Structure 1
Amino acid sequence: MNNDNNGNEHEFKRPVSWLMGRELLAGLKWIAAYSFLGDKLGSKDWMHAEVITPPHNNTDTACYWFDYISDTGDGMKAVYNIAYLCMSDLWLDNQRGISANSVALSADNIYNQQLPRGEFLFVGGDTAYHIADIASLKERFQAPFNWAYQAIVANTQKKPDKRPIYGIPANHDYYDVLNGFNLQFSKPITDDTKELQDNLLGLLGFDRTQTTSYLALKLPFDWWLWGLDSQSGKMDKRQQAFFISTLLQGQDKPELVKNGDLFNNARQNTVRQILQEYSPAKLIVATPEPTTVFGKWAKNDAAIINTFTYLGLESSFLEKYDGTLSGYKCRLDIAGDIHHYARYWGNTTENPHANYASVVAGGGGAFLHPSHTNVNEAAQQALYPSRKDSHTLITQAILNPLNIIQGGYIWLVGGLIALLSYFAVTVPENTWALFKLLPEDLRPDATGTVLLSSMRNALDTSGISDSMQCCSSAYYFDLSYIMLIVLLMGSQVYWLAKPDNMDRLKNVANRTWLKYVLIFLIAIIGSFLPLFNLISWTRKQLPEPMLAGLLIALFFITALLIFTLNRRYGDILIKRSKLYKQTFFEVLPLWALTIAGLTYTVFGFLRYGLYSATITSFNLMMIFIWLLMTLGLVALAVILGGQLLNNTGKIKFALIGIWHSFLQLTIPVCLVLYSSWYNIMAISIAATAITLLAGYIFSRDFLVKDLSLNQQKKLANLLFASWGVIGISVLLAALAGNPVAISNWRLVAAFLLGLLFSCIWFGWYLAVSLAYNGHANESGGGARSECYRHMIRFKLTANTLTGYVIGIDTPITEISVDHPPKFRLVDVFTLHAQ
């Protein structure tokens, strides 16, 4: 905390908690709504955009300055420092160049190159976290900016003059359906007030004149800045029409928008040639997501490719072009979304007069994303923080169990799962019989009156079914059939979840589409037919309780997948209805899927729900928990952790997920089952200490050095091996004792051990995954670091664009004459127009 010049106390909150934190859980309904509805939540069709010409207040007519930040409104200390930079003139030490302490807030004999404050501030999206609603924007964006303004006034005795602020939205802005974004950037209906509790989210030192979520800024020297509202790389037609109209205004060419040629598929090749010919010669394109990230080439079928093509822009970031752009043009692609700085292409020693660069600049205040995640396809020309600094900071943070505990409610989930798993393998008859990890004489007395005995009796199935078996052959067909249906439906849902596949079906010719519908309908009916056999099949033998629960769960999962498939098919019909007249035949799959979903749901419960509600409910709960902790964690590792990697890399992540799942489920339970209180304490302390020590050792110079790509591969293997050794050692130590009778205190211990070890193993999982170029987002969210934040001050001239990237390694809470911050020059790059 610190105080302003009026004695008001400022509380600087850390970045929001991402590991199932309170704020994240509170906003899940909005995040889920955006995930399901996407661009349907947008209001761009009601917007009326006009070209904006920002002011030119600087007396130097030979150049023009503006500032860029992105991904703000998170760690308040970091936002405060960045805001101070954005409202200040800066001075460089030319002798030091790109280094620490090379930027100052005032001039002297050393710091003598001025970087004037930008004529406007451009915010590249994700204005606040988790959701850019009014409350979050007030606390994590408006407040730090206004504190910075007050600090500048106190330090300089001058009030920064008002400059325009512009922005484009990204996904976190859309979680609030752009309500907060609208209040933060749109022109207010009344005059801005200096009152800090302003409901219109005014910022001291800034004016708001924006009217849309996308914008075209006409800058001096024939430069343009296009801010695209292109969520997931897509752009709507009205927005496209605005940019094209701007592009062709005053040109001796047909009006492509009014005569309909712009959206005429038969004229697309001609239209694209016209657009490429007349696209701006000097252009800055700001998008919500980067065109190039983590050293990986953009995919040839990425949605952003179509968006750029529709605007007449070359996809210079593709592998086949490798940063080349038509010789007479100059363009910068810039975005945030990833919370570090990286530059691809631009001026180098070999190419000092480059005319294209792609920049990632998400350092406006959000938690740090690891910069050492790099799949080594597209070459990085500049990076901040360095690979070594990134690895050291984040690895130490995520291998600190306390940091994971403070990062959200992972610990609570881990504690509850360990408690329920220990209870399941010791008290209920049917789940105890599956594993028999505890002798019968150490279980609660079935005839007793204490709570555990009563719970055992309530869940007793010994007089109903043979709980000793996992499953009998009488129900093999049921199990095989429903598992096959889950795989088939799941694969269909996964395929349709890809936007490109949805777009392909939306635009396919009508005759071909009807063939697809017929095949789809036959497949639905064909998969549904065996269910009638199960409905009419009479068997005397009851399914074992856990098998019954598993079958109910699988039938329920099948129903969920069917309803999801039904919704996706309905989305396709809605999109096709804009192009083709809908027929009754096309609607038949919707009816078939609805009937099938309801039938699977009802049949599962009626056919296999043969036991008491208590037994069935408990078994279902444990099945879902164990499925999530096994298949779920493996899927998380492969799909999310391995998303940047090829199939070989995904197999490696499957192994990482299996090991993580095994440790999470077994260690806490085995410790409570077989260890004395003394051993539990000793093993827990040792595991915690070794994990903390590993964070220190694996960031030392003798292992890390400069963290080249080859060194990172070796370090990743060493980390994985060390995790394996530690996990096996803890498991062997836990199994070394004798079985211990269940008691109330043992249940408490199970929860506490689940709390601790869930955070230990999750930290190891993130550290190993990160070393293999996976889970960068989750690792950054777990570390919650405010260090290494940055902004960019741009200088435009008639023939060049120069970006001065200003960074701060460690933000501070009080910027004053007595406490000057230590800013650094991170990168300087220049693009040349021909």
Structure 2
Amino acid sequence: MFQRQKLTRSKSARTFKGPVAWLFGRQLIAGLKWIGMYAFFGDKLDSRDWMRPEIISRHGEAPEEEAFWFDYLADSGDGQCATYNIAYLCQHDLWLPNENSPPDRDQESKTVSLIGGGGNTFKLPRGEFLFVGGDTAYHIADYTTLAERFQRPFNWAYEDIFGPETRPETRRPIYGIPGNHDYYDALDGFNRQFLKPFNQEHAQATEGAGPQLSLKGFERIQEASYVALKLPYDWWFWGLDTQAGEIDRRQAAFFLSLCNPGVSEATAESKTARKAPDKLIVATPEPTTKFGQWAREEEAIVGTFKKLDLAPSFLKSNAGNLPRSQCRLDISGDIHHYARYWGKGAADKSAHTRANYASVVAGGGGAFLHPSHTDVEEVAENQLYPPRKVSHQLMTRRLLMPWNIFQGGYIWLAGALIALMTYFAAAIPESSWSIFKLIPEEQRPLQNEGSSLLGRIQEALAIEQVNPTKDYGWDLIYALLLLALLSVSALRTRSFFEAAMERGRKAWIWAHYQFIGFHLALFAPIVFFIYWSPGGNPHPFLASLLVLLFLLASLVSLVISRRYDNMLFERAKSHRIIKWNYTPLWILMLFAAVSACYGLWHYGRYPLSVVFSDILTTSILMLTLGGLILFAVVAGGSLHERAGKLWFAALGCWHAILQISVPVLLVIYSSWITIFMVVSGAFLATLLAAWMMTRDSLVNENCLQQKKLGRQLLIIWLLVGVSAMLMAGWGEAVEVTWIRLAAAFLVGGILSCVWFGWYLAVALAFNGHNNEAGGGARLEAYRHFIRFKLTSNTLTGYVIGIDQPVESFPKDKERPRFRLVDVFTIGL
């Protein structure tokens, strides 16, 4: 397969913007409002209810030639150079040595040419249409981002091929379906990019402005966010808009009506004898098979296929099989590399081939590269691009380059603030300092420079002498249990009431009694703690912690009420809502108010400045420790069962310990020379590990070897982390000064890039954090699209790969060649 190669890029006069920053970059931060709105209200803001799709039959006539050609890409609009390359190739004819050219397996073997002749005699003509399979631009596919990262590269490519003027004969239809990044803008940008404009395409309006987001090489004709294309030879192309994997009833009725010619959409759902087209291409925003893992029965995409009477061939029980009378391709993006499961290629192993079914992941339209060496090993892929070896080497090298993590967003700022606030809490406020007393009293500002600003801050956060009692332990236990059980309730409210709705009216009523009784039991102990409060005062930091916990309990109660309100909204579609159904809402809002007031009144006994400082410190530590563990379990362990999730929880815990402890211990106990040695040593050890663990002698295509490499990476990380921690804590406490506070900020920022890169590299080796690792690496290499050839009984896909994007395609010099990644065929 490919050997390690140095990726270089030709230069042009244009300035191409690189991939967006994923690690808390400014584009992501700017879009958090819209992403949050989608997360909270996406289920109610469903634009599909207002759409009226039509069958697009302009491609239905058989061509004069034998074959009909069309193009597919997905996940574009990120790095401008990669998107420009894809745009150039999909608007250009391509050439191969012959019709039966095998895929290019070697590094130097690149047979796809932009011109014929010179041994290239088989033409892959430009597709009759281009289909975009979701996530048109990043982070949010709004108007501005689409214009900059999708429209501009496509128009650049058109101008380089055809000239600056738009020529009608060069235009092709463009179709698309939305992914989650399109939905973050409530499909506003998607509609402007793909729906048929009300004024003529490429014409100037009376006000002087043409249609928005117009592409010079394409025309827009679709009327909804989902499409049905009637193709030659009785083939169909269905583009499904399955938000979060689910399909709405109106869309399902539209596609079901295609299974019953002459049947209206209104009655299509009630028909019992339905038959999907025998020759079908189904495009979805999310893949049916990914990372070598079978789809699970409970996944939403499985339910969508069953609603449309499409056999879920991608389930383990079906093993990629489809009735012999049918032929189907399931294709999607979302994962930014190429992988094919089943189908039939020249180099496929016979056990993995299926003549009439294939599931393809092809998210290489310009977005950053997702690692391709993540593999659960449940189902084997037939083809992968880039190969595992190349993926491991590229990703590990990039992730273990702290400077790259620094450029990828504001991870460094988060680490700097964590270190600064943790050191401040350990040195200045009386309540937090008195817990561990890491710094002797004589080294604190008030004892050395009482008139300085730091000394005055310490004095403002000082507490009059108190003798705290230890009898508030039960209060803490109750507060933690209350918050934990409320969190479980918040997670299970939806599924609990959905199950009750399915069982009928009595079950629905009984579920309310259980729900109300459970929450009454949770809040009842507050009455006990009000009237049987222990004497004396709690420790100041404990008092502030209790205030925070009860405020969080109040917030979670409001979240539960919101989730219950969503269930009432769903039930109102088919049932009458009575006053009794609103009782849980009133109770939860009452509990929210009681919890907040009780926490502030019962435990807010110390100055507001002290309480605020303690709450800020506790919040930062909780978010760091709890957030990184939760991040590891939910995102890192998403492909794993319970044991794997526990392993990732431990990995996240180690990551959090390093992020919190090493910078603070360095600033408290170390001299400037020691600080420099530890930081530079961790930095250099990371770079050395990146070189060692990506050598050709250590890497092969075997997945078991990949796990061995993961264990080696983990051992090195443990050694680096433990060594840094021991050296950081070896010494005497140093006087607290402004320079030390600044050092905490600087050291925390540097080491956060080191530790986060290590965490992603190790997690990736154990099939975790594929998305985050790709976003951290921010690679534009190994992009691809597919040019399809359609005949009466076969569908052949030619996967065209771009190992490294170029910035120009000079016509007066030898043009670059590209890789034929895969050639596969399905048919009857």
What TM-score do the two structures reach when normalised by structure 1?
A: 0.93
SS at match of 1:41: coil
Q: 1:505 to 1:89 in 2, by over 3 A?
A: farther
Instruction: Give yes or no for the alignment of 1:177 onto 2:195.
Output: no
Instruction: Give yes or no for the alignment of 1:458 onto 2:455.
Output: no
Q: 1:3 to 1:771 in 2, by over 3 A?
A: closer
Out of 575, 581, 588, the position equivalent to 1:580 is: 575
Out of 777, 781, 788, the position equivalent to 2:782 is: 788
**Matches of 2:24 and 2:739, distance apart in 1:** 27
> Is the CA contact 1:87–1:205 (under 8 Å) kept in the aligned structure 2?
yes
**Matches of 1:810 and 1:56, distance apart in 2:** 37
SS at match of 1:68: strand
> Which residue number corresponds to residue 195 of structure 2?
186
**Matches of 1:536 and 1:464, distance apart in 2:** 26
Q: 1:143 to 1:56 in 2, by over 3 A?
A: farther
| Residue ranges of structure 1 left out of the alignment (5+ in a row) | 264-270
Residue by residue, what CA displacement relative to the aligned partner does 1:544-572 show, whole Å, maximum 9, x if unpaired?
Answer: 11111111111111112111111111111
> Which residue number corresponds to residue 429 of structure 1?
430
> Which residue number corresponds to residue 273 of structure 2?
274
Match runs of 1:308-347 below 5 Å = 308-347=305-344
**Matches of 2:245 and 2:496, distance apart in 1:** 15
> Is the CA contact 2:497–2:511 (under 8 Å) kept in the aligned structure 1?
no
Instruction: Give yes or no for the alignment of 1:85 onto 2:89.
Output: yes
Out of 251, 262, 268, the position equivalent to 2:269 is: 262
> Which residue number corresponds to residue 420 of structure 2?
419
Out of 753, 757, 763, the position equivalent to 1:759 is: 753
Query: Which one is further off, 808-817 or 96-105?
Result: 96-105
Query: Which one is further off, 349-358 or 599-608?
Result: 349-358
> Which residue number corresponds to residue 108 of structure 1?
117
> Is the CA contact 2:257–2:265 (under 8 Å) kept in the aligned structure 1?
yes
Match runs of 1:532-611 below 5 Å = 532-611=527-606
Instruction: State the Cα distance separating 1:602 from its structure 2 match.
Output: 1.5
> Is the CA contact 1:193–1:202 (under 8 Å) kept in the aligned structure 2?
yes
**Matches of 1:365 and 1:502, distance apart in 2:** 42
Instruction: State the Cα distance separating 1:349 from its structure 2 match.
Output: 4.3
One-letter amino acid matched to 2:795: L
> Which residue number corresponds to residue 617 of structure 1?
612
Residue by residue, what CA displacement relative to the aligned partner does 1:692-727 show, whole Å, maximum 9, x if unpaired?
Answer: 111111111122123x11001111111111100000
Query: Which one is further off, 150-159 or 449-458?
Result: 150-159
SS at match of 2:54: coil
One-letter amino acid matched to 2:110: N
One-letter amino acid matched to 1:751: F
Match runs of 1:347-366 below 5 Å = 347=344, 348-350=348-350, 354-366=355-367
Instruction: Give yes or no for the alignment of 1:830 onto 2:825.
Output: yes
> Which residue number corresponds to residue 5 of structure 2?
none
SS at match of 1:103: coil
Out of 117, 128, 132, the position equivalent to 2:126 is: 117
Q: 1:744 to 1:53 in 2, by over 3 A?
A: same
Out of 214, 219, 225, the position equivalent to 1:202 is: 214
Out of 251, 256, 264, the position equivalent to 1:244 is: 256
Out of 660, 670, 682, the position equivalent to 1:687 is: 682
> Is the CA contact 2:86–2:784 (under 8 Å) kept in the aligned structure 1?
yes
**Matches of 1:3 and 1:189, distance apart in 2:** 39
Match runs of 1:45-84 below 5 Å = 45-55=49-59, 60-84=64-88
Instruction: Give yes or no for the alignment of 1:485 onto 2:482.
Output: yes
SS at match of 1:187: coil
What TM-score do the two structures reach when normalised by structure 2?
A: 0.94
Match runs of 1:522-537 below 5 Å = 522-537=517-532
What's the Cα RMSD here?
A: 2.2
SS at match of 2:127: coil
Match runs of 1:655-674 below 5 Å = 655-674=650-669
One-letter amino acid matched to 1:735: G
SS at match of 1:141: helix
Q: 1:772 to 1:194 in 2, by over 3 A?
A: farther
Out of 472, 475, 478, the position equivalent to 1:475 is: 472
> Is the CA contact 2:74–2:136 (under 8 Å) kept in the aligned structure 1?
yes
**Matches of 2:459 and 2:553, distance apart in 1:** 32
Residue by residue, what CA displacement relative to the aligned partner does 1:38-62 show, whole Å, maximum 9, x if unpaired?
Answer: 2422211111111002447996432
Instruction: State the Cα distance separating 1:478 from its structure 2 match.
Output: 1.2
**Matches of 2:210 and 2:622, distance apart in 1:** 49
Residue by residue, what CA displacement relative to the aligned partner does 1:208-261 show, whole Å, maximum 9, x if unpaired?
Answer: 1111001100000000000111111111111111111122114xxxx47434x7
**Matches of 1:227 and 1:119, distance apart in 2:** 16
One-letter amino acid matched to 2:50: W
**Matches of 2:168 and 2:808, distance apart in 1:** 18
> Is the CA contact 1:124–1:288 (under 8 Å) kept in the aligned structure 2?
yes
**Matches of 1:502 and 1:152, distance apart in 2:** 58
Out of 217, 220, 230, the position equivalent to 1:218 is: 230
Instruction: Give yes or no for the alignment of 1:518 onto 2:513.
Output: yes
Instruction: State the Cα distance separating 1:735 from its structure 2 match.
Output: 2.1
**Matches of 1:586 and 1:648, distance apart in 2:** 40
One-letter amino acid matched to 1:161: T
> Is the CA contact 1:126–1:169 (under 8 Å) kept in the aligned structure 2?
yes
One-letter amino acid matched to 1:262: E
| Residue ranges of structure 2 left out of the alignment (5+ in a row) | 1-8
**Matches of 1:292 and 1:621, distance apart in 2:** 44
Out of 97, 104, 107, the position equivalent to 2:102 is: 97
Residue by residue, what CA displacement relative to the aligned partner does 1:193-213 show, whole Å, maximum 9, x if unpaired?
Answer: 389985610001101111100
**Matches of 1:506 and 1:385, distance apart in 2:** 47
**Matches of 1:507 and 1:822, distance apart in 2:** 58
> Is the CA contact 1:415–1:758 (under 8 Å) kept in the aligned structure 2?
yes
Out of 17, 21, 25, the position equivalent to 2:25 is: 21
> Which residue number corresponds to residue 382 of structure 2?
381
Instruction: State the Cα distance separating 1:539 from its structure 2 match.
Output: 3.7
Instruction: State the Cα distance separating 1:93 from its structure 2 match.
Output: 2.7
> Is the CA contact 2:349–2:382 (under 8 Å) kept in the aligned structure 1?
no
> Is the CA contact 1:54–1:120 (under 8 Å) kept in the aligned structure 2?
no
Q: 1:667 to 1:64 in 2, by over 3 A?
A: same
SS at match of 1:650: helix
> Which residue number corresponds to residue 266 of structure 1?
none
Match runs of 1:636-651 below 5 Å = 636-651=631-646
> Is the CA contact 1:54–1:164 (under 8 Å) kept in the aligned structure 2?
no
Instruction: State the Cα distance separating 1:742 from its structure 2 match.
Output: 1.2
Instruction: Give yes or no for the alignment of 1:805 onto 2:810.
Output: no
Residue by residue, what CA displacement relative to the aligned partner does 1:571-616 show, whole Å, maximum 9, x if unpaired?
Answer: 1111112222222222211111110111111211121111111111
Instruction: State the Cα distance separating 1:830 from its structure 2 match.
Output: 0.4
One-letter amino acid matched to 1:738: E
Q: 1:585 to 1:442 in 2, by over 3 A?
A: same
**Matches of 2:712 and 2:209, distance apart in 1:** 52
Query: Which one is further off, 650-659 or 755-764?
Result: 650-659
Out of 766, 771, 793, the position equivalent to 2:765 is: 771
> Which residue number corresponds to residue 448 of structure 1?
450
**Matches of 2:354 and 2:705, distance apart in 1:** 33
> Is the CA contact 1:15–1:74 (under 8 Å) kept in the aligned structure 2?
yes
Query: Which one is further off, 164-173 or 633-642?
Result: 633-642
**Matches of 2:406 and 2:736, distance apart in 1:** 27
